[in-house]
Amino acid sequence: MNSTKKTARLAGLLYLIWIITGLYGLLYVPSKIMVRGDTVATANNILAHEFLFRTSIVNDLISSIIWVFMVLVLYRMFKQVNERQAKLLVAFVFVQIPVVFITDAFNLTSLMILKGEILKTFELTQRQDLAMLFLKINDYGVLTLEMFWGLWLFPLAILVYKSRFLPRFLGVWLIITGIFYLVLSFTSIMLPQYKDMVSNSPLALPAEVGEVAFMLWLLIMGAKPKPLVDTASAVG
C-alpha cells in the first residue's frame, strides 16, 4: 500500500513537471515569437529572441525524457491491474518520441536558415519562406501528435477505472479528454476551418483539465487502495 502510494506521487510529480514543460513549449514560447500570417515579423522575432527559441527546443527534449520516465512509473503502478493495457499505454507514448526529435530538427534548421548559416546564396525573402516552411512542418507534426495525445489516454483511463486505488470518475474524465484530443486532431486535419470552433468550445476547457485533475490527485492524494470488504461480517 505504501509502495503504491509513493509510486503514485512520483508519477504525479513527473506529470506536473511534464505539464509545465508542455505549457512552456506549446503556449509561452509561440506567444512571444509567432505572428500569425506575418512571415517577416515571425522571422525577425526568432532572430531577436534566438535564445528563447533555442530553449523551446531543449524544453521539448527534456519534456520527452520526463514523459518516458513518467509512463514507466505509470506502468509500474498499473501493471498489476491489466498488464496488456499498461503495455499499450507505454507503446502509445514511445511512438511519439521520435516525432518530437524530428520536429525539433526542423526548428533548428529553420533557425540556421534565418541566420544565413546555410543556403547563403538564397535571397532573404527566400530564406524566410523556407524557414517558415520548416516551422509549418513542425506545426503539422503537432497536429498528428494530438491524435496520440488522445490515444494514450484511453488505456490510462481504463487502468484508472479498473484500479482499486484511484476514483473511477478520473478514468471517465480521462476518456473524455482523450476523445477531445482525437476530435481536435481530426478536425484540424480534415476540416481546419473548424479547428478554432472546437478548441474554443465550452466543452474544451473541462475536457483539457482532465489530465490536470488526474495529476493533482496523484500528487496530493496518492493511491489509496480500498480495503477489502469482509463478506462474512457484512452479512452478519
Q: Each residue of 78-128: pLDDT tens digit?
A: 999 999 999 999 999 999 999 999 999 999 999 999 999 988 889 989 999
Phi, psi dihedrals of residue 223, rounded to the nearest 5°: -115, 125
Nearest to 19 by CA among 175, 188, 144, 177: 177
Closest Cα partner for 14 from 80, 65, 85? 65
pLDDT at 160 over 90: yes
For residue range 199-231, what is the model confidence (pLDDT) as tens digits? 888 889 899 899 999 999 999 999 876 554 433
Q: What is the mean pLDDT of the chain?
A: 90
The answer, yes or no, to whether residue 15 has pLDDT greater than 50, is yes
Q: What angle do CA 14, 140, 171 make, to 5 degrees?
A: 40
Interval 172-196 mean pLDDT:
93
Q: Report domain extents, the chain.
A: 2-224
Confidence (pLDDT) at 232? 38
With a pLDDT cut of 90, the percent of the chain lying above it is 75
User: What is the pTM (predicted TM-score) of this model?
Assistant: 0.88
pLDDT (average), residues 9-31: 95
User: Which grid cell is 195?
Assistant: 479547428
Please check the confidence at residue 23 and state whether its pLDDT lies above 90. yes
Instruction: Give the list of residues 6+ apart from residue 142 with CB closer than 8 angstroms, or none.
Output: 26, 103
Q: Under 8 Å CB-to-CB from 109, ≥6 apart: which residues?
A: 118, 134
Picking from 169, 166, 171, the residue whose alpha carbon sits closest to that of residue 226 is 166
Q: Which 3 state secondary structure label does DSSP give 201?
A: coil
Has residue 235 got a pLDDT over 70? no
Q: Between the CA atoms of 219, 222, 148 and 136, what dihedral angle is there, to the nearest 10 degrees?
A: 0
pLDDT at 172: 97
